[in-house]
Amino acid sequence: MTDVTATTQELKVVSKGGLVVEDLEVSLTGRGVDVVDDIDLVLAPGEVVGLVGESGSGKTTVGTSLLGYSRAGAFISAGKVLIEDRTSGAVRDVLKLPWKEVRQLRGEEIAYVPQDPASALNPSIRIGKQIVELLELRGIGTAASRLQGARDGLAEVGLPTDDEFLRRYAHQLSGGQVQRVALAMAFLPKPKVLVLDEPTTGLDVTTQKMVLDTMAELCRSHGVSALYVTHDLAVVANIADRVAVMYAGQIAELGPRDAIFANPSHPYTRALLDSIPHLSQARALKGIPGRTPSPGSRPEGCRFNTRCSFVVDACRTTVPELRTIAPDHQVRCLRAGEIGAWDINIGTVPDSDPGKLRDVILSVDGLNVFYGRKQVVHDVTFDLGKGEVVALVGESGSGKTTISRSVGGLHKEWTGTLMFEGRELARSARKRSAEDRRRIQYIFQNPYLSLNPRLTIEQIIRRPMELFGLAKGKNATDRVLELMEQVALGSQMLRYQASRLSGGERQRVAIARALAAEPDVMICDEITSALDVSVQGSIVELLEGLRQSRGISMLFVTHNLALVRSIATRVEILQAGKVVEAGPVVTVMETPHEDYTKKLLSNSPRID
């Protein structure tokens, strides 16, 4: 490929095994609308670049473009992805190669680790066979040496290499193991570049830490450059050398990790950082108002102007260019340098006072929960005060959701006592009085499943009012509008069907539905884990406001300890269905006694 032109600096990067993206643009087929544009990115050899943004920012699109791939309905309309030819040493443009060579290149030189590895592994082929097959396809090794190659690959990612393990199917591995198998398979053909698309979403902190460490270690030892796509700046803070923040299809800020976290210069980067909870101190979390504009409906001028808190008139008309404000640090903002300094401690608030008097409204005593004959929760005791948030924290399988479902009356195979204002509650919601059902509301983890997609927002929110006889007819509609305003949903959405809303908006509807019943206790089951960090920030902001203004008590189930610090007063750390440590948040997080708590704390990704 001699027709590829590249600057000398780019050539330098490429010749050492790196990758250069130049003016990349991906458009929607037939509409002339670009999904991402003007993307310039350099992956130096051995470097990990974090690509961060909310959902809809185009980060995955950029990630897959590196492999010359775009999803159906979109195509790569301009730009170059430069990489060195292994044999000849010439510079090649991935986007101009014939498809046969692209096919060869994918996996062999540029590898991809998907978000959900469980769906990337074939469920009916044993792990060992899958890895051997990969080596066969890539023509690596001989028939005899491939099995050993598979073992070596697994050993590199810290997995067992015995025959028993090789004979397993994907469903017999844990989530972290599956992800590490995917990593091993990505590394085996010895690629030069690795694209990781949110590979740790949905994993526990401990597993996440393990996968991230493995990845970082392999990149260093093999000199592989990696593009790590994620929505979580906290993860990036721990692994990336450089960070690119994407917004609405463009890079908003790009720079070395330390520069981004010490001196974030784009208002969007700052807003993202403001929405992340800290482990060391409670914060008043803030979300970013509005939602990411979709391709085709992006505003004139700066794309962030509709949500920016530093917006001036010029931002609405002038399109900002990527400007260099410090060595290697570029910002796409007209006002870069004018908006003042940023401090990580902005927004910190005093931790909740552990010595405050508590007025217990709900108490759980000796709770044992069963699924059939299997006991999953053992003798759990805790209570919840009025206007207080108690967090149930643990990794998957710790029983935290099971406890919350039992308390909410959604699971009925349990023993123990559940007292609500001094009265004992029945096991299942159906057996409880309507008044008790009204006063304890449950909010689900996944807003995509918890709202009936065929109903309108109005119907969803007004139903509890009608059911509990709180409001009717016109009054109910007025009340719905009032609640929608409280949860920051525009009144134009009244007649929208739930299927038209984004995840964050859906979760707000779910919260409004709970509020419609005028509850005293809300059980929040991982309600932010399916959402972007920025949306999590605004949901937490909303809940905190509700707690203060209405004195609603909350049972907050989560796996995120940093979030606990900002929202809860008391915390129960759960492991395998038992409470291992409990107490006021400050005490538990400042002076953890149990090893398990310490391990959770040290494995949590943090930016502070």
Instruction: Tell me which residues touch another protein (CB under 8 A).
Output: 408-410, 429-430, 432, 434, 437, 442, 444-446, 449-456, 459, 463-464, 466-467, 472-473, 497, 499, 513, 517
Residue number, 312 or 449, with CB nearest to another protein = 449
Strand, coil or helix: what is 83? strand
Per the structure block, which two tokens stand in for 433?
């009085």
Q: In angstroms, give the least distance from the CB of 429 to another protein.
A: 5
For residue 96, the tally of other CB atoms under 10 A from its CB is 14
Q: What is the DSSP letter of 274?
A: H
Q: In angstroms, give the least distance from the CB of 553 to another protein.
A: 17
Q: In angstroms, give the least distance from the CB of 439 to another protein.
A: 12
Q: In angstroms, give the least distance from the CB of 15 to another protein.
A: 48
Q: In angstroms, give the least distance from the CB of 249 to another protein.
A: 26
Residue number, 349 or 426, with CB nearest to another protein = 426
Rounded to 5, what percent of the chain is helix, strand, coil?
A: 35, 25, 40
Residue number, 106 or 508, with CB nearest to another protein = 508
- Amino acid type, 598: K
Q: What is the DSSP letter of 85?
A: -
Q: Give CA–CA dist 163/126, Å, rounded.
A: 11
Residue number, 327 or 473, with CB nearest to another protein = 473
Q: In angstroms, give the least distance from the CB of 522 to another protein.
A: 12
Kindly list the strands in the beta sheet with 242-247, ordered across the sheet, starting from the edge strand earlier in the chain.
Answer: 110-113, 193-197, 225-230, 48-52, 242-247, 250-256, 329-331, 323-326
Residue number, 100 or 373, with CB nearest to another protein = 373
Residue number, 214 or 558, with CB nearest to another protein = 558
Q: Give CA–CA dist 229/251, Å, rounded.
A: 13
Q: List C-alpha distances in Å: 456 to 137, 291, 447, 474.
A: 50, 20, 14, 16
Residue number, 288 or 460, with CB nearest to another protein = 460
Reading phi first (left if > 0) and then psi (alpha if -120 to 50, else beta), residue 190 is in: left
Q: How far is CA 65 from the centre of its chain?
A: 21
Pairing verdict, β 110-113 and 193-197: parallel
Q: In angstroms, give the least distance from the CB of 523 to another protein.
A: 10
**Total residues found in the chain within this entry:** 608
Closest CA to 291 of 113, 501, 456, 473: 501
Q: In angstroms, give the least distance from the CB of 116 to another protein.
A: 19
Long-range contacts made by residues 426-435, C-beta under 8 angstroms, separation at least 24?
434/467, 434/468
Q: Give CA–CA dist 82/256, Å, rounded.
A: 22
Residue number, 112 or 442, with CB nearest to another protein = 442
For residue 218, the tally of other CB atoms under 10 A from its CB is 18
Residue number, 231 or 513, with CB nearest to another protein = 513
Q: In angstroms, give the least distance from the CB of 489 to another protein.
A: 18
For residue 100, the tally of other CB atoms under 10 A from its CB is 8
Q: Phi and psi at residue 445, in whole multiples of 5°?
A: -65, -50
Q: List C-alpha distances in Å: 491 to 372, 481, 506.
A: 45, 6, 14
For residue 129, the tally of other CB atoms under 10 A from its CB is 16
Q: In angstroms, give the least distance from the CB of 436 to another protein.
A: 9
Q: In angstroms, give the least distance from the CB of 449 to another protein.
A: 4
Residue number, 100 or 430, with CB nearest to another protein = 430
Q: Give CA–CA dist 410/557, Å, rounded.
A: 15
Residue number, 118 or 410, with CB nearest to another protein = 410
